[in-house]
Structure 1
Amino acid sequence: MFAWELLTFIGTVAFAMSGSMSAMEEEYDILGVYALGLVTAFGGGILRNLVIDAPTRSLWEQGDLLVTALVASSIVYFAPRLWANHVQKWVFFDAVGLAAFAIQGALLAAQKGLPLPAVMIAALLTGCGGGVIRDILARRKPLVFREEVYGVWAMLGGLVVAMGFGETGWEMYVLFAGLLALRMWSVKKGWQLPKRSFRSGMSGLAKREA
């Protein structure tokens, strides 16, 4: 299906660029740039396949996508001035990859006849797994576990797919546009999930005792 292949291509390019930009921000060498680009582009799919019992060797059967990811990383590395002034640099590309791969992962799980929770988890892993690996390698707190509304949108995409929407090409495009818009809108508005910590709790306790 053309829509499936297009989303896969878009997600691969977006995540490869996102990972490479993160490596450039951390001043990694060229090997680090390509490594983060590849793991961001393909890490989520590998994690998803492990969870839903799909063959992980399929990565090595995607020669065209591997080349695509390498080309995308090369564009970031060899033309850094194109991205140096980009506001929030890799956030947009990360949002594109999130939307595209969340749909792809959810559809794959749904096609295997898995239940709703599994479809949502597949969407989460595919949309966010590569980013988690990227953030760990870039020595950052994984974005999906911070207060920003991030993984929720991937799971929402999985929920929509599990309900039967996203089987046709135009439905995929509508869902992709919706998830991308929600992610970027949440960034613009600074939406956050609730967050608590033992540190803040102990701080409040110390003030009361004083």
Structure 2
Amino acid sequence: MSTTLLLILDLAGIAVFASTGALVGVRKELDVFGVAVLAVMTGLGGGVLRDLLIGSVPPAALEDWRYLVVPFVTSLVVFAFHPTFGRRERGIMLLDAVGLALFCVTGAVTAEEAGLNVLSSSALGMLTGIGGGMMRDIASGRVPVVFRGELYATPAFAGALVASVVHHEGWSQWWYIVAFGTCLVWRILALKRGWSAPLPPGTAHV
């Protein structure tokens, strides 16, 4: 995957996730600074964790000014027009699914290019996708979505696995669309049909 394409996808994913973090901050009635912090945390958290784990320091988020500007500007837009965003809950969930799919692919490719094997790259791709959301939920006092039984991490791992194999085998860049689609379609179907991860026997989702 070319460096330019990877950057574009990364920034797109950051903007999408930052918008979900900012919306949570608005609903928690945080001030503009709190909303911005939550947005930046959501947009950059997964990527920073990935970079630290592969030894890429300082993380890209701290080396390239665009990685900080994108989530910050996104937070201001959501803060200013939050009624519009709030009325489009389904759209926000779809954007979150798109961000998850983008990040699992870019995270896996970045890990592959750092020399990790396919399985490790897949795990870090998944972490890139779910890390920021986990930080957002913990910081805002919510149970992270990955712990609520929803199929979230599993689609991310599946998409990351496909992306890792594509990169490892040197297939055409068009195959990354398959990786992206694997995560996105699985996540959307899980949302629409209420799919969830299995619980221990004798327990039930609430």
User: When the two structures are superposed, what TM-score results if normalisation uses the length of structure 2?
Assistant: 0.88
Q: Percent identity among equivalent residues?
A: 33
Counterpart AA for 1:187: L
2:186 maps to which residue? 182
Indicate the SS of the match to 1:191.
coil
2:195 maps to which residue? 191
Conserved? CA contact 1:3–1:173, under 8 Å: no
Conserved? CA contact 1:13–1:69, under 8 Å: yes
Task: List runs of 5+ in structure 1 lacking aligned partners.
Answer: 202-210
**CA deviation profile, 1:39-86 (whole Å, cap 9, x unmatched):** 001110111122222213432212122111111111100011221211
Counterpart AA for 2:139: L
**Distance in 2 between the 1:119 and 1:57 partners?**
17
TM superposition shift of 1:20: 0.4
Conserved? CA contact 1:22–1:90, under 8 Å: no
Indicate the SS of the match to 1:21.
helix
Counterpart AA for 2:133: G
Conserved? CA contact 1:121–1:155, under 8 Å: yes
**CA deviation profile, 1:2-22 (whole Å, cap 9, x unmatched):** 431221121011011010011
1:60 maps to which residue? 62
1:130 maps to which residue? 132
2:30 maps to which residue? 28
1:90 maps to which residue? 92
Task: List runs of 5+ in structure 2 lacking aligned partners.
Answer: none
Conserved? CA contact 1:21–1:89, under 8 Å: no
Conserved? CA contact 2:121–2:160, under 8 Å: yes
**Distance in 1 between the 2:53 and 2:121 partners?**
11
Conserved? CA contact 2:52–2:59, under 8 Å: no
Q: Which has the higher mean CA deviation after the structures are superposed, 130-139 or 170-179?
A: 170-179
Indicate the SS of the match to 2:150.
coil
1:38 to 32, 37, 40: 40
2:151 maps to which residue? 149
Indicate the SS of the match to 1:90.
helix
CA RMSD of aligned residues (A): 2.1
Conserved? CA contact 2:166–2:176, under 8 Å: no
Q: How many residues align?
A: 200
TM superposition shift of 1:167: 5.7
**Distance in 2 between the 1:22 and 1:197 partners?**
33
